[in-house]
Amino acid sequence: MAVNKKKPEVLAAINAGLKAVKESGEYDKIYEKWFGKKEAKSAATEAAKAAEEDPCAYGGELKSIEAVDDLTVKFTLCYPDVAFLAKIAFSAFSIHPSEQMEAEKGGGKMLEKPIGTGPYQIVEWKRGENITFKRFDDYWGEKAKTPNLIFRWSTESAQRTLELQAGTVDGIDNPGPEDFKTIQADPNLKLYPREGFNIFYIGFNTAYPPFDNEKVRQAIAMGIDRKRIVENFYPPVGSEV
């Protein structure tokens, strides 16, 4: 179509007419008559398009993850996060082969026989009971000192201490505070204090009342006996934050 530049009112009239045709639905009818029905855009297609235009549109923290080389991974964030280094230390950030991720979709054998990068390999996993490892001789770092390793679960700290004293296990983690003196008094045992692997905290969703009120949050914080919590649940090296 060609329009005389000196008569812009003609182009305006044409555009107005096309707009009216589209709004009335006649345009789609004419298109379908000659070319067939248009393919409906799926939600996935729309999401993919939005991701291309803005990788952070999905609302999450990660903008991109890039394998720079065999030993380097680059994370690009959607926003600054001072806790990110601590977050990627969690097991959820374990590195897996892309082929396995695509094949298992995050489940299946990935849970039963995970592929890791440590000095041991999983031999057997009895959920809720124990997990057995064997030394991985091709490990890239310092080789494991024992050929086998068995982790057993026990919810009772007193039971764990009794097994340690009986010699049925070589070591236990998280002995109960009430068992510290027992372990220290036994010449065959040694207590190794260590910092806790977790931080106990109470979080507030400030998008909803009454937690959107700073005074309410301060009142709750003032009512928590931090010292007592540390003494009862995080001795002897726990501390208030």
| Domain definitions of the chain by residue range | 59-93, 110-153, 155-192, 195-241
Please give the average per-residue pLDDT across 75-85, as a whole number: 91
149 phi and psi angles, rounded to 5 deg: -150, 130
| pLDDT 10s digits, 184-205 | 999 999 998 877 777 788 888 8
Picking from 188, 164, 185, 186, the residue whose alpha carbon sits closest to that of residue 174 is 164
171 pLDDT higher than 90:
yes
pLDDT attached to residue 43: 60
* Stronger pLDDT, 175 or 35, i.e. the higher one: 175
166 pLDDT higher than 80:
yes
Q: CA-to-CA distance for 21 and 180, rounded, in angstroms?
A: 83
Q: Residue 81: which residues within 8 A CB-CB, separation 6 or more?
A: 61, 87
Please give the average per-residue pLDDT across 129-158, as a whole number: 92
44 pLDDT higher than 70:
no
- Quote the percentage of the chain above a pLDDT of 90: 32
Mean pLDDT for the chain?
81
- Quote the percentage of the chain above a pLDDT of 70: 78
| pLDDT 10s digits, 90-134 | 877 777 777 887 887 766 677 777 777 889 998 988 988 999 999
Number of neighbouring beta carbons within 10 Å of residue 89: 8
* Stronger pLDDT, 209 or 51, i.e. the higher one: 209
With bands split at pLDDT 50, 70 and 90, how would you rate the model's confidence at 5?
A: low
40 pLDDT higher than 60:
no
Q: Are 98 and 73 in contact (CB under 8 A)?
A: no
Please give the average per-residue pLDDT across 56-69, as a whole number: 86
- Tokens read off for 228: 């007592």
pLDDT attached to residue 42: 56
* Stronger pLDDT, 181 or 232, i.e. the higher one: 181
pLDDT attached to residue 31: 64
pLDDT attached to residue 223: 93
- Tokens read off for 54: 């803005």
Q: Are strands 120-126 and 62-69 parallel, antiparallel or unpaired?
A: unpaired
